[in-house]
Amino acid sequence: MSNGLFNCDHTGRMSGDARREQILQTAVDLFSKKGFKGTTTKEIAKAAGVSEAMVFRHFSSKDELYGAILHSKGCQDGFRDFPWNKNEDLRIAIREKDDFTVFYHIALDALNKHHTDVGFMRLLFYSALEEHELAERFFGEFVAQIYGFIGGYIEERQQDGAFCQIEPKVAVRAFLGMIIHHSLNNILWDKQRNILDISNEEAAKNFAEILMRGIRA
C-alpha cells in the first residue's frame, strides 16, 4: 500500500519506477545505519515490504544497488549540480566578484544539503571506512568538481590581486574542512548541539568570514 511518497496505479499497486525508488530509499536508510557489509538484500527487502526477488528484479546485485544510490543522488537530488547550477544568488555574486557572498552561499548550500540528507551523509562515511568504491566514485564525480569550482574562483581572484598567493587547493581544503567538520559534529557526535548551537546561516557567515580574513590580499 502506498504511503503517499510513491505513485500507485488505480489498483493501489506501485509502478515499477515507484517500487525501485522505494527500494533505493530503504537501502539508503539501512546502509547508513549498518554499512554496506552489515546490510543484506534480505533485510532491504523486508524493510521495503517486498520480496528479495523483487529487489533483484530491479538491481542485479547489492553492488549495483549501492551504485544506483550514488547515481540517484547525483542526478535527481542535485548533489552533482551543487552548488553553482541552481543558486541564482551565488551566480550573481560570482559575476559581481562579491567574495564574501560567494563563499557564504557555497557554505550555506553545503550545510543545508548535509542537514536534509543525513542518511546519505552517513552512508558516505560508512563507505569510506569500509573502503567501498562508492566513496572513491563520489569523490571523483562530485568532490573533485567542488575543488575545481572553488579553486578556479580563487585563482581568478588571485589574478585580480584580491587574494594572496596561496595554493588554491589548500584554501579550498581549509574552507571545506570547516564545513564538513561542523556537519560531522551535528550528525555524529553532538546531535543535541551542546558544544555549539548555531543556525546554518550563522555558521556559513562565520566560515566565509574566516576564509576571507585568511586569503584576502
Are the C-beta atoms of 111 and 203 separated by less than 8 Å?
Answer: yes
CA distance 146 to 171: 12
Give the ranges where 35-98 is alpha helix by DSSP (H): 41-48, 52-58, 62-75, 88-96
What backbone torsions phi and psi does residue 197 show, to the nearest 5 degrees?
A: -120, 90
* Domains in the chain with CATH codes: 16-74 (1.10.10.60), 77-215 (1.10.357.10)
Considering the entire predicted model, what is its pTM?
0.74
CA distance 42 to 56: 10
CA distance 85 to 8: 32
Confidence of residue 29 (pLDDT cuts 50, 70, 90): confident
pLDDT at 1 over 80: no
What backbone torsions phi and psi does residue 38 show, to the nearest 5 degrees?
A: -90, 0
101-121 tens-digit pLDDT:
999 999 999 999 888 888 888
Task: Output the pLDDT for position 79.
Answer: 47
